[in-house]
Chain A
Amino acid sequence: MLGYAVRRLLGAIPTLFLIVTFAFFLMRVAPGGPFDRERTLEAKVLENLNRVFHLDKPLWEQYFYYLGNLARGDLGPSFIYRDFSVQQLIGNGLPVSIQLGGMALLVALLIGSVLGSIAALRQNSWVDYSVIAVATFGITVPNFVVAPLLSLIFGVWLSLLPAGGWSSPESMVLPVITLALPQVAIIARLIRGSMIEALRSDHVRTARAYGLPTRMIVVVHALRAACLPVISYLGPAAAALLTGSVVVETIFGLPGIGRYFVQGALNRDYTLVMGTVIIIAVFVVVFNLIVDLLYAALDPRVRYD
């Protein structure tokens, strides 16, 4: 198992390399540059800036220069947030994003699996239909609608919770809910579907025929089987949640890294974009590995060696 994990991580290096290369050149073929402003800079200033950031060199040289720095763990300076290196920006923002995403994931998992299980157990009853309705709502209503709405209701009208910021535990409630809502919906639907299937399976019939209590049948025999498809979904979902959400961070004014990706791309802040791309890629690789290992831990038919 450990050998498998190590092999998988080694196998990810070429993947990451390709992503870095692709992102690097894609970024550069986009028109414009980091120092384009409404009022063009003086030619001398621009030349100096380009020299400082090595933008005066041929593209391939810049590429190898970046790779060389990357190999030493240096993501370079941000072109726009002067005085900050990309490491510093990500180092400051990532913990916030991870905290926010992690809590949202936890909330989504708990509520989603409970709702999904209840719906499956009461299939085709009003409970089931209401869960499905809420789930459909959660998936269809975009977070840029939910976020201001929650902020307005709980932050402004009711003044129960802060409408933004990231200082106290209360301030985390609304962003976490906003981020978790669609995930709750997706997980509830996934669990419901696989749970219904599991409850119909032959081995659950066996458990019933042997007089096991319903609680035990559901938790021990049906839920574990029903979790498997959800776990496959969780890999990419966790990677996406933990690397931040532009919308939620922007609306609630949170210092996460989600917004860097968009702002960086719009500002042609090459190094910042590359930094976030790398972080996201690493998260995706790692979480997919975790999913595969979890899968093997839950299903004895899956073995890696």
Chain B
Amino acid sequence: MKQQNEERIFDIRDIRVTFDTPDGAVEAVRGVDMHVNAGETVAVVGESGSGKSQIMMASMGLLASNGSVSGSVSYRGQELIGLPRAKLNKIRGAKVTMIFQEPMTSLDPLYTIERQICEPIRVHGGLSAGAARKRALELLKLVHIPDPERRMKSYPHEMSGGQRQRVMIAMALANDPDLLIADEPTTALDVTIQAEILGLLAELQKKLGMAILFITHDLGIVEAFADRVYVMQKGLVVETGETADIFERPQEDYTRMLLAAEPEGHKPPVGNDQPILLDAKDVCVTFVVKGGFLSGPGYEVKAVQNVGLTLRAGQTIGIVGESGSGKSTLGRALLQLLPSEGRVVYQGTSIQGFDRAAMRPFRRNLQMVFQDPYGSLSPRMTVGEIITEGLLVHEPQLSARERDKRAIQALEEVGLDPSMRNRFPHEFSGGQRQRIAIARAVILKPTVIVLDEPTSALDRSVQKQIITLLRRIQESHNLSFIFISHDLSVVKALSDYAIVMRSGQVVEEGLTSDVFDNPQSDYTKDLMEAAFNLREVLHRQAAARA
């Protein structure tokens, strides 16, 4: 990808972004220099809150109304900060374009794809409706949207996330930009789709020669994709250099920490002599979309089809799959949180089809931790109340003092300061909240915890801490985990047995080491490649095009 001449097209000098909040001014970006040369691919990498996106928003005049920016951003010598909107509008969307993280919401749900691609073409290029339509069709072909003629008439909700991101890319390319700013464009996508989108960007860059400024938290993407990197932390650039240099010889502690933040370790398999805790056979979950007098005939969605698993004491079964594979649905069906068919046996008792009341005595043994640490804790209860709530049901004989003692123990166990138990969830960070959620499960002394994407909303470095925590409590309590995740590296590090799901069915299963190191099915192979060997995948895609 090294074809750039040294012509600087985008130059950011001492940019500072401040947000005026009810708690006072918050400096999100504290004096950053950054530049992009023509045709180059530059990555800005950092964890959430590092200010990496806000630099781009400020440069393009897209800051929220309480944000203000100082410093200088110039595009080919034209200063963008403070530029009147009419002039800025000549540059953004034409010469400098953006794609965003959320392909689901970045397109207007009320208009067709055609209309949305044509708008910037007509505004900037002054083309007639017919000519703009022709150009839009060309662009959809360029980004490899299947059946582009028909897709022109589609609305965003009729397309998948990957396709919507392709549409965004088509919009970005419409006016032959010099620079494409991509703000976490693949974060919301599955790994195989991510590889496709990155491959497409690389292909288009080669074909059209624009520079790409790529904002991401994912070092795997940076390594596979970028020529040069800026590492950001807390509003500052801590290190910058050629990608290879940064990855091989990181100078700063923070960079080293980021590079080391990939989950590591593995879990040895448990012996077949360990008692079976949870045994599931032929689990099926069917969602019936009801028909009726006013809505026409109903239909069924088979979310989980004939899936079985056997969980032994101390074991961690990892369930991996992309969105819509049915992995979370399976987790909920196992705990009888939604109606299912099949057979689920917990320690010799068939709990299949148990209703709420019948499940209650089992609930303390079968706990669950959810993905969203923001939504799954009641904002109106203190942390102490949240984690001891289960005790009120399962150990009602405890006095308030004893419950408080248990809360202190549980918080210490998950590495939180027990003196914070009278605070409310919003006062904690995402990682801390996930610790609270784990404490809430552990306090009941369960035997099985179903963890549904517990690390997906967290930064890599925080993920690593949570993984260490889960390992520790698993050992100290001989817990069994069912670990549901789309993140293969986390599953690889934590589980000893892995199940790969796709479209509600098991594609492959076996010991984690076997599934990850020697995958048998094509789908698993693709998944592993896209997750662990992105660079290779992109090279292969490029070679296939050449």
B249 to chain A, nearest CB (A): 36
CB–CB A300/B93 < 8 A: no
Asked whether A7 lies within 8 Å of B294 as measured between CB atoms, the reply is yes
- B93 in complex: contacting residue of A123, A200, A209, A299, CB < 8 Å: A209
Check if B107 is an interface residue, CB within 8 A of chain A.
yes
Is B26 interfacial (CB-CB < 8 Å)? Answer: no
The 8 A CB mask of B454-495 against A (1 = contact, 0 = none) is 000000000000000000000000000000000000000000
Q: Decide: B62 and A211 in contact? CB cutoff 8 A.
A: no
Any A CB within 8 A of the CB of B90: yes
Query: Is there a chain A Cβ closer than 8 Å to B105's Cβ?
Result: yes
Residue among A8, A200, A209 with the most chain B CB within 10 A?
A: A209
**Which of B60, B123, B293 touches A212 (beta carbons < 8 Å)?**
B123
Interface of B is mostly: loop
B106 touches A206 (CB 8 A): yes
> In the assembled complex, which residues on chain A have CB atoms less than 8 Å from the CB atom of B102?
202
**Could you tell me if A211 and B91 are in contact, using CB atoms closer than 8 angstroms?**
yes
Asked if B123 and A211 sit within 8 Å, CB to CB, the answer is: yes
* Residues of chain A within 8 A of B88, CB atoms compared: 211
Residue of A209, A301, A305 near B157 (CB, 8 A) is: A301
Structural contact, A202 and B157, CB atoms closer than 8 A = no
- The answer to whether B85 has its CB under 8 Å from any CB of chain A is yes
Let me know if A161 is at the binding interface, CB within 8 A.
Answer: no
Q: In the assembled complex, how far is the CB of residue A183 from the closest CB belonging to chain B, in whole angstroms?
A: 25
From 66 to 100 in chain A, residues with beta carbon under 8 angstroms from any chain B beta carbon are: none
* A203/B61 contact (C-beta < 8 A), A210-B120, A301-B157 known: no
On whether the beta carbons of A300 and B294 are closer than 8 Å, the reply is no
Q: Does B92 contact A (CB under 8 A)?
A: yes
Contacts of A4 in B (CB 8 A): 294
Q: A202-B102, A211-B88, A211-B89 are known contacts. Are A7 and B293 too (CB-CB below 8 A)?
A: yes
Interface size on A, residues (CB 8 A): 31
- With both chains docked as a complex, state the minimum distance between the C-beta of B490 and any C-beta of chain A, in angstroms: 28
B171 at the interface (CB under 8 A from A): yes
Smallest CB–CB gap between B127 and chain A, Å?
Answer: 15
Any A CB within 8 A of the CB of B124: yes
B109 touches A301 (CB 8 A): yes
B115 (CB) vs chain A CBs: closest residue: A220
| Residues in chain B near residue A213, CB distance under 8 A | 89, 123
A202-B100, A213-B89, A298-B110 known; A123+B65 contact, CB < 8 A: yes
In the complex, whether A225 has a CB less than 8 A from a CB of chain B is yes
Determine the chain A residues whose CB is within 8 A of the CB of B97 once the complex forms: 209-210
Q: Is the CB of B45 closer than 8 A to any CB of chain A?
A: no
User: Does A214 have its Cβ within 8 Å of any Cβ on chain B?
Assistant: yes
Question: Please, which residue of chain B has its CB at the minimum distance from the CB of A225?
Answer: B110
Q: Inside 8 A of A210's CB, which chain B residues have their CB?
A: 92-93, 97, 119-120, 123, 171
CA distance A126 to B105 in the complex (A): 32
CB of A11 within 8 A of chain B? yes
B374 within 8 A of A: no
B106, A203: Cβ atoms closer than 8 Å: yes
Q: Is B155 an interface residue (CB 8 A)?
A: yes
**B102 to chain A: closest residue by CB:** A202
The answer to the question of A208 belonging to the interface, with a C-beta cut-off of 8 Å to chain B, is yes
A205 at the interface (CB under 8 A from B): yes
Docked-complex contact B105 and A305, CB < 8 angstroms: no
Give the distance in Å from the alpha carbon of A23 to the alpha carbon of B455 in the complex: 59
Tell me whether B252 is interfacial, beta carbon within 8 Å. no
Q: Are A206 and B107 in contact (CB under 8 A)?
A: yes
Q: CB-CB < 8 A to B90: which residues of A?
A: 211
| A211 / chain B contacts, CB cutoff of 8 Å | 88-94, 120, 123-124
**Is A201 at the interface (CB under 8 A from chain B)?**
yes
Report the Cα distance A304→B293, complex, angstroms: 12
Known A7-B294, A211-B93; judge A202-B106 contact (CB<8 A). yes
User: Is B517 part of the contact surface with A, judged by Cβ < 8 Å?
Assistant: no
Whether B105 pairs with A301 at a CB distance below 8 angstroms is no
B62 partner residues in chain A, CB cutoff 8 A: 205, 208-209
The verdict on A299 contacting B60 (CB below 8 Å), with A211-B124, A212-B123 known, is no
- Least CB distance, A226 to chain B, in whole angstroms: 11
| Minimum Cβ distance to chain A for residue B101 (Å) | 9
Among candidates A11, A208, A209, A301, residue contacting B293 with C-beta atoms closer than 8 Å? A11
User: Is A118 interfacial (CB-CB < 8 Å)?
Assistant: no
Q: Is B296 an interface residue (CB 8 A)?
A: yes
B112 to A: closest C-beta gap in Å = 8
In the assembled complex, the Cα of A216 lies from the Cα of B294 at a distance in Å of 37
- Complex CA gap A210/B95 in Å reads 10
- Taking the complex as formed, is B108 at the interface, i.e. its CB lies under 8 A from any CB of chain A? yes
Q: State the CA gap A126–B68 with chains docked (Å).
A: 21
A224 CB within 8 Å of chain B = yes
- Which of A200, A299, A305 sits near B296, CB closer than 8 Å? A305
Nearest Cβ on chain B to A148's Cβ, whole angstroms: 43
B98 at interface, CB cutoff 8 A: yes
Nearest A residue to B98 via CB reads A209
Bound Cα distance A64, B294 (Å): 30
Docked pose: A41 CA to B266 CA in angstroms: 99
CB distance from A291 to the nearest CB of B (A): 15
Name the residue on B nearest A299 (C-beta).
B110
Q: Tell me the complex Cα distance, A207–B109, Å.
A: 13
Task: Provide the residues of chain B in CB contact with A214, threshold 8 Å.
Answer: 85
Tell me, rounded to whole Å, the shortest Cβ–Cβ distance linking B173 to chain A: 12
Q: How far is the CB of B185 from chain A (nearest CB, A)?
A: 13
| Alpha-carbon separation in the docked complex, A257 to B108 (Å) | 44
Q: Is B93 within 8 A of A212, CB to CB?
A: yes
A304 contacts which chain B residues (CB < 8 A)? 294-295
Smallest distance from the beta carbon of A223 to chain B beta carbons, Å? Answer: 10
> Within A1-28, which residues are at the interface with B (CB < 8 Å)?
4, 7-8, 11
Could you tell me which residues of chain A, from 182 to 237, have a CB within 8 Å of some CB in chain B? Answer: 200-214, 216, 220-221, 224-225
Which residue of the partner chain A has the closest CB to B57?
A: A205
Instruction: Find the residue from A8, A211, A298 having the highest chain B CB count within 10 A.
Output: A211
For the complex, give the distance between the alpha carbons of A204 and B108 in Å: 8
Q: B157, A300: Cβ atoms under 8 Å?
A: yes
B:101-137 near A, CB below 8 Å: 102, 105-112, 119-120, 123-124
* A-chain residues with CB within 8 Å of residue B168 when the two chains form the complex: 206
Q: Is the CB of B294 within 8 A of A8?
A: yes
Q: Given A7-B293, A205-B100, do A212 and B106 touch, yes or no (CB 8 Å)?
A: no
- Report chain B residues within 8 Å CB of A224: 110
B123 touches A221 (CB 8 A): no
Q: Are B92 and A209 in contact, with the CB atoms below 8 A? A: yes
Shortest CB-to-CB span from A4 to chain B, Å, is 7
Query: Chain A residues with Cβ under 8 A from B91's Cβ?
Result: 211
On chain B, the residues within 8 Å of A220 by CB distance are 111, 119
A221 to B112, CA, bound (A): 12
Q: Can you list 26 pairs linking A and B with CB atoms under 8 Å apart?
A: A4-B294, A11-B294, A123-B65, A201-B105, A203-B107, A203-B109, A206-B106, A207-B108, A207-B119, A208-B61, A209-B60, A209-B62, A209-B100, A210-B92, A210-B97, A210-B120, A210-B171, A211-B90, A211-B91, A213-B89, A216-B123, A220-B119, A300-B109, A300-B112, A301-B157, A304-B295
* Shortest Cβ-Cβ A-B pairs, 10 listed: A210-B93, A211-B93, A211-B89, A202-B105, A203-B108, A210-B120, A300-B155, A211-B92, A209-B98, A202-B106
Excluding A210-B171, A212-B123, 13 further A-B contacts by CB distance (< 8 Å) are: A8-B294, A202-B106, A203-B105, A206-B100, A208-B61, A209-B98, A211-B120, A212-B89, A213-B123, A221-B110, A225-B108, A225-B110, A300-B109
Residue ranges of A at the interface with B (Cβ–Cβ < 8 Å): 4, 7-8, 11, 123, 200-214, 216, 220-221, 224-225, 298-301, 304-305
B interface vs A, CB < 8 Å?
60-62, 64-65, 85, 88-94, 97-98, 100, 102, 105-112, 119-120, 123-124, 155, 157, 168, 171, 293-296
